[in-house]
């Protein structure tokens, strides 16, 4: 039995779908603060509504599970700057609660979501796992803390924990609503509605966009591989696209809408692209999704959703 925390969310629901395709039994715990039950429509899963910061709910969800994929988190860099305490409660305390419940249950391995945000604004590219952590937002600090807890559980407390530093994940079911939504769904939704694309900063900042299907494969590999507990791996496409390039792509494929430039947001990173060689070597993982095909699938999903 696999437990997926945050399994009703964007990345979580795609991970659940892949586990079911591979024949695994799956249980999900999600407080539905950002996830949606409709993301699990048609999936044969056990569902528990609860928060990862609640030890009783997590212990109930962990009962009988052999592997864990821990994805539940508050996901926004700007949001963490507005409410650091809430982000600490869910993203740090909640992660320790999950690790401890997994240890007590005798779980074989935990894969957990970290973030490329831990690299900060270093101009060195590509980002390598050996680089110094330089958290520049409470969100990044929380993810860095999760990595340290994972090391301690792996090296001292007998629970192998494997971390994945996601870069910019995109694909169907990503929620474009709210002021801190990821750039691709927000751009696509606004273009479909004929609204201007909002760019924070000059638009020359670069991002590594990786399709959610590749991230789901990485999650499952990290939860089941014979790799060293306590390690972290970059999960990205290994290539960089600027926000301005993305603007032109959306204008040419969705709608020729105008652009509005806004002030740069606190905590945003200037350039981000992954060195993914370690994930290839240890997890036998490389991205397979083509960017154009993934964008076409994503745009089509949003067209259907908005209609």
Written as six digits, the tokens of 172 are 């169907």
Please state the φ and ψ torsions of residue 161, each to the nearest 5 degrees.
-125, 125
Closest C-alpha to 154, from 101, 115, 99: 99
Closest C-alpha to 70, from 37, 96, 95, 89: 95
Residues labelled catalytic: 139
What is the rounded CA–CA span in Å between residue 284 and residue 71? 21
**Given strand 109-115, what is the order of strands in its sheet?**
46-49, 26-30, 2-5, 67-70, 109-115, 161-166, 232-235
H or E element that contains 220: helix 212-224
If you search the block for the tokens 């609660």, which residue do you land on? 97
Number of C-alpha atoms within 13 angstroms, CB side, residue 263? 3
Residue 170 near residue 148 (C-beta atoms within 8 A):
no
* CB-based burial, 109-136: b 16+ in 10 Å, e otherwise: bbbbbbbbbbbbebeebbbebeeebebb
What is the rounded CA–CA span in Å between residue 177 and residue 297? 19
Alpha helices in 113-182 (DSSP H): 138-155
| Alpha-carbon dihedral 277, 118, 123, 238, rounded to 10 degrees | 30
Which residues make beta-bridge pairs with 115? 166
């Amino acid at each position: 039995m696999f437990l997926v925390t945050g399994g009703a969310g964007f990345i979580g629901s795609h991970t659940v779908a892949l586990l079911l395709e591979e024949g695994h039994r799956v249980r999900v715990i999600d407080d539905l603060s950002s996830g949606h039950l409709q993301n699990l429509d048609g999936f044969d899963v056990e569902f528990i509504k609860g928060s990862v910061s609640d030890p009783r709910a997590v212990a109930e969800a962990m009962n009988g599970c052999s592997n864990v994929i821990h994805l539940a988190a508050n996901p926004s860099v700007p949001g963490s700057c507005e409410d650091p305490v809430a982000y600490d409660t869910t993203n740090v305390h909640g992660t320790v609660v999950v690790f401890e419940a997994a240890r007590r249950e005798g779980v074989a391995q935990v894969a957990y979501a970290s973030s490329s945000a831990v690299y900060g604004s270093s101009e060195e590219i590509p980002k390598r796992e050996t680089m110094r952590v330089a958290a520049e937002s409470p969100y990044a600090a929380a993810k860095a803390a999760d990595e340290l807890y994972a090391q301690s559980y792996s090296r001292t407390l007998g629970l192998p924990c494997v971390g994945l530093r996601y870069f910019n994940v995109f694909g169907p079911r990503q929620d474009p609503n709210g002021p801190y939504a990821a750039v691709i769904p927000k751009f696509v939704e606004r273009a479909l509605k004929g609204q201007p694309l909002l760019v924070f900063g000059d638009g020359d900042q670069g991002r590594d966009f990786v399709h959610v299907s590749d991230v789901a494969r990485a999650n499952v590999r990290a939860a089941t591989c014979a790799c060293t507990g306590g390690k972290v791996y970059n999960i990205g496409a290994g290539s960089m696209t600027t926000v301005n390039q993305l603007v032109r792509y959306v204008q040419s494929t969705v709608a020729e809408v105008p652009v509005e430039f806004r002030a740069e947001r606190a905590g945003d990173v200037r350039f981000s692209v992954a060195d993914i060689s370690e994930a290839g070597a240890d997890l036998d993982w490389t991205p397979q999704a083509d960017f154009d095909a993934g964008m076409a699938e994503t745009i089509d999903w949003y067209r259907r959703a908005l209609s």
